[in-house]
Amino acid sequence: MRSGGPYLPDDVAFSASGVFLASLLGSHDGRFLSLLAGSHLKLTGESIAPEGYGTIANMMDWLYRNAPFGLLAQDASAEPRFVHANQAAQSFFECNWHEIVGMHSRLSAPEMNREARETVMEDVLKNGYRAGYRGVRRTLQGRLFWIEDVSIWNIVDDDVIHGQAALIRQTSPYFS
Protein backbone atom coordinates (compact mmCIF):
# COMPACT_ATOMS: atom_id res chain seq x y z
CA MET A 1 0.00 0.00 0.00
CA ARG A 2 1.12 3.52 -0.76
CA SER A 3 -0.09 6.56 1.11
CA GLY A 4 -0.80 10.18 0.27
CA GLY A 5 1.91 12.58 -0.80
CA PRO A 6 2.53 16.30 -0.55
CA TYR A 7 -0.80 17.39 -2.01
CA LEU A 8 -3.02 14.50 -0.91
CA PRO A 9 -4.38 13.70 2.52
CA ASP A 10 -1.73 11.84 4.55
CA ASP A 11 -3.96 8.89 5.32
CA VAL A 12 -4.96 8.15 1.70
CA ALA A 13 -3.81 4.67 0.74
CA PHE A 14 -4.11 2.73 -2.51
CA SER A 15 -3.55 -0.90 -3.30
CA ALA A 16 -0.63 -1.47 -5.64
CA SER A 17 -2.61 -4.23 -7.35
CA GLY A 18 -5.16 -3.42 -9.96
CA VAL A 19 -5.38 -0.01 -11.51
CA PHE A 20 -2.33 1.66 -13.05
CA LEU A 21 -3.39 5.22 -12.23
CA ALA A 22 -4.03 4.47 -8.58
CA SER A 23 -0.64 2.78 -8.36
CA LEU A 24 0.97 6.02 -9.49
CA LEU A 25 -0.49 7.92 -6.57
CA GLY A 26 1.23 8.12 -3.22
CA SER A 27 4.97 8.44 -3.33
CA HIS A 28 4.75 8.97 -7.10
CA ASP A 29 1.99 11.60 -7.16
CA GLY A 30 4.06 13.92 -9.38
CA ARG A 31 4.26 11.16 -11.97
CA PHE A 32 0.48 10.69 -11.95
CA LEU A 33 -0.40 14.35 -12.51
CA SER A 34 2.49 14.72 -14.96
CA LEU A 35 0.93 11.92 -17.01
CA LEU A 36 -2.51 13.52 -16.73
CA ALA A 37 -1.24 17.00 -17.66
CA GLY A 38 1.12 15.65 -20.32
CA SER A 39 -1.70 13.73 -22.00
CA HIS A 40 -3.77 16.92 -22.15
CA LEU A 41 -0.85 18.89 -23.58
CA LYS A 42 -0.15 16.22 -26.19
CA LEU A 43 -3.80 16.02 -27.31
CA THR A 44 -4.61 19.75 -27.27
CA GLY A 45 -1.35 21.67 -27.37
CA GLU A 46 -2.49 23.50 -24.22
CA SER A 47 -1.17 23.23 -20.66
CA ILE A 48 -3.63 22.82 -17.79
CA ALA A 49 -1.33 24.74 -15.44
CA PRO A 50 0.24 28.17 -15.82
CA GLU A 51 3.97 28.43 -16.41
CA GLY A 52 6.45 29.53 -13.79
CA TYR A 53 5.99 27.12 -10.91
CA GLY A 54 9.62 26.09 -10.94
CA THR A 55 9.14 22.51 -9.83
CA ILE A 56 6.75 19.74 -10.75
CA ALA A 57 5.81 19.48 -7.05
CA ASN A 58 4.75 23.15 -6.99
CA MET A 59 2.67 22.72 -10.16
CA MET A 60 1.04 19.59 -8.77
CA ASP A 61 0.24 21.34 -5.52
CA TRP A 62 -1.36 24.21 -7.47
CA LEU A 63 -3.45 21.77 -9.54
CA TYR A 64 -4.72 20.06 -6.41
CA ARG A 65 -5.23 23.00 -4.05
CA ASN A 66 -5.56 26.23 -6.05
CA ALA A 67 -6.66 25.50 -9.61
CA PRO A 68 -9.73 27.58 -10.55
CA PHE A 69 -11.28 24.50 -12.17
CA GLY A 70 -12.33 21.03 -11.12
CA LEU A 71 -9.98 18.23 -12.14
CA LEU A 72 -11.16 14.62 -12.03
CA ALA A 73 -9.58 11.40 -13.26
CA GLN A 74 -10.98 7.90 -13.57
CA ASP A 75 -9.23 4.61 -14.24
CA ALA A 76 -9.70 2.49 -17.37
CA SER A 77 -11.44 -0.45 -15.74
CA ALA A 78 -14.72 -1.87 -17.04
CA GLU A 79 -16.49 -0.02 -14.20
CA PRO A 80 -14.30 3.10 -13.93
CA ARG A 81 -13.67 4.61 -10.51
CA PHE A 82 -12.40 8.06 -9.67
CA VAL A 83 -8.71 8.02 -8.80
CA HIS A 84 -8.25 11.78 -8.45
CA ALA A 85 -10.38 14.79 -7.57
CA ASN A 86 -8.81 18.15 -6.82
CA GLN A 87 -10.25 20.42 -4.14
CA ALA A 88 -12.40 22.36 -6.61
CA ALA A 89 -13.98 19.12 -7.86
CA GLN A 90 -14.55 17.99 -4.27
CA SER A 91 -16.33 21.29 -3.65
CA PHE A 92 -18.53 20.89 -6.75
CA PHE A 93 -19.59 17.41 -5.63
CA GLU A 94 -19.93 18.48 -1.96
CA CYS A 95 -17.60 15.79 -0.68
CA ASN A 96 -14.06 15.11 0.43
CA TRP A 97 -11.23 13.06 -1.08
CA HIS A 98 -12.21 9.89 0.80
CA GLU A 99 -15.80 10.06 -0.40
CA ILE A 100 -15.12 10.58 -4.11
CA VAL A 101 -11.89 8.69 -4.79
CA GLY A 102 -12.82 5.06 -5.33
CA MET A 103 -16.43 5.89 -6.23
CA HIS A 104 -17.73 4.53 -9.53
CA SER A 105 -17.58 7.56 -11.80
CA ARG A 106 -20.94 6.78 -13.45
CA LEU A 107 -22.57 7.58 -10.09
CA SER A 108 -21.53 11.22 -10.49
CA ALA A 109 -24.37 11.57 -13.00
CA PRO A 110 -28.01 11.17 -12.00
CA GLU A 111 -29.60 7.98 -13.31
CA MET A 112 -31.54 9.92 -15.98
CA ASN A 113 -28.25 11.17 -17.50
CA ARG A 114 -25.96 8.14 -17.20
CA GLU A 115 -26.52 6.91 -20.74
CA ALA A 116 -25.65 10.34 -22.19
CA ARG A 117 -22.55 10.48 -19.96
CA GLU A 118 -21.49 7.03 -21.11
CA THR A 119 -21.91 8.04 -24.77
CA VAL A 120 -19.60 11.02 -24.23
CA MET A 121 -16.98 8.92 -22.43
CA GLU A 122 -17.04 6.32 -25.24
CA ASP A 123 -16.60 9.12 -27.80
CA VAL A 124 -13.56 10.40 -25.88
CA LEU A 125 -12.17 6.87 -25.68
CA LYS A 126 -12.34 6.61 -29.50
CA ASN A 127 -11.28 10.17 -30.38
CA GLY A 128 -8.96 11.10 -27.52
CA TYR A 129 -10.48 14.43 -26.53
CA ARG A 130 -13.67 16.45 -26.30
CA ALA A 131 -14.08 20.14 -25.47
CA GLY A 132 -17.14 22.20 -24.56
CA TYR A 133 -19.06 19.38 -22.87
CA ARG A 134 -22.05 20.22 -20.69
CA GLY A 135 -23.90 17.69 -18.54
CA VAL A 136 -25.93 17.22 -15.39
CA ARG A 137 -24.18 15.85 -12.31
CA ARG A 138 -25.24 15.01 -8.78
CA THR A 139 -23.53 15.97 -5.54
CA LEU A 140 -23.01 13.27 -2.99
CA GLN A 141 -25.90 14.89 -1.08
CA GLY A 142 -28.18 14.39 -4.11
CA ARG A 143 -28.36 17.96 -5.44
CA LEU A 144 -28.25 18.28 -9.23
CA PHE A 145 -25.99 20.79 -10.98
CA TRP A 146 -24.58 21.50 -14.44
CA ILE A 147 -20.93 21.03 -15.30
CA GLU A 148 -20.10 23.35 -18.19
CA ASP A 149 -17.25 24.11 -20.55
CA VAL A 150 -15.70 20.75 -19.70
CA SER A 151 -12.72 19.22 -21.47
CA ILE A 152 -12.42 15.43 -21.29
CA TRP A 153 -9.38 13.51 -22.50
CA ASN A 154 -7.72 10.12 -22.41
CA ILE A 155 -4.77 9.66 -20.07
CA VAL A 156 -2.23 7.99 -22.34
CA ASP A 157 1.27 6.63 -21.80
CA ASP A 158 3.14 4.87 -24.61
CA ASP A 159 -0.08 4.61 -26.65
CA VAL A 160 -1.87 2.81 -23.81
CA ILE A 161 -5.01 4.43 -22.40
CA HIS A 162 -4.88 4.29 -18.61
CA GLY A 163 -7.98 6.32 -17.87
CA GLN A 164 -9.74 9.58 -18.61
CA ALA A 165 -9.66 13.03 -17.05
CA ALA A 166 -12.04 15.96 -16.99
CA LEU A 167 -11.35 19.65 -16.46
CA ILE A 168 -14.53 21.42 -15.29
CA ARG A 169 -14.32 25.16 -15.88
CA GLN A 170 -17.78 26.13 -14.67
CA THR A 171 -20.82 24.84 -12.79
CA SER A 172 -24.31 26.23 -12.38
CA PRO A 173 -27.50 25.23 -10.58
CA TYR A 174 -29.78 22.74 -12.28
CA PHE A 175 -33.42 23.75 -12.56
CA SER A 176 -35.72 21.09 -13.97
Among the residues of 66-160, which ranges form H helices?
A: 87-92, 97-100, 114-127
Residue 146 included in any domain:
no
| Whether the predicted pLDDT of 10 surpasses 50 | no
Segment 31-89, tens digit of pLDDT: 888 899 999 999 999 999 888 877 888 888 899 999 999 999 999 999 999 999 999 99
Domain range spanning residue 49? Answer: 2-109+154-167
Residue 80 included in any domain:
yes
The number of folded domains in the chain is: 1
Cβ burial, residue 12 (10 Å; 0-12/13-18/19+)? middle
Residue 132 included in any domain:
no
Residue 148 included in any domain:
no
Residue 137 included in any domain:
no
State the Cα–Cα distance between residues 111 and 104, nearest whole angstrom.
13
Residue 7 included in any domain:
yes
Residue 130 included in any domain:
no
Is the pTM value of this prediction over 0.95? no
Mean predicted confidence (pLDDT) in 22-28: 43
- What pLDDT is recorded for position 33? 82
State the Cα–Cα distance between residues 59 and 56, nearest whole angstrom.
5
Segment 88-126, tens digit of pLDDT: 999 999 999 999 999 999 999 999 999 999 999 999 999
Residue 138 included in any domain:
no
| Whether the predicted pLDDT of 19 surpasses 70 | no
Which has the higher per-residue pLDDT, 136 or 160?
Answer: 136
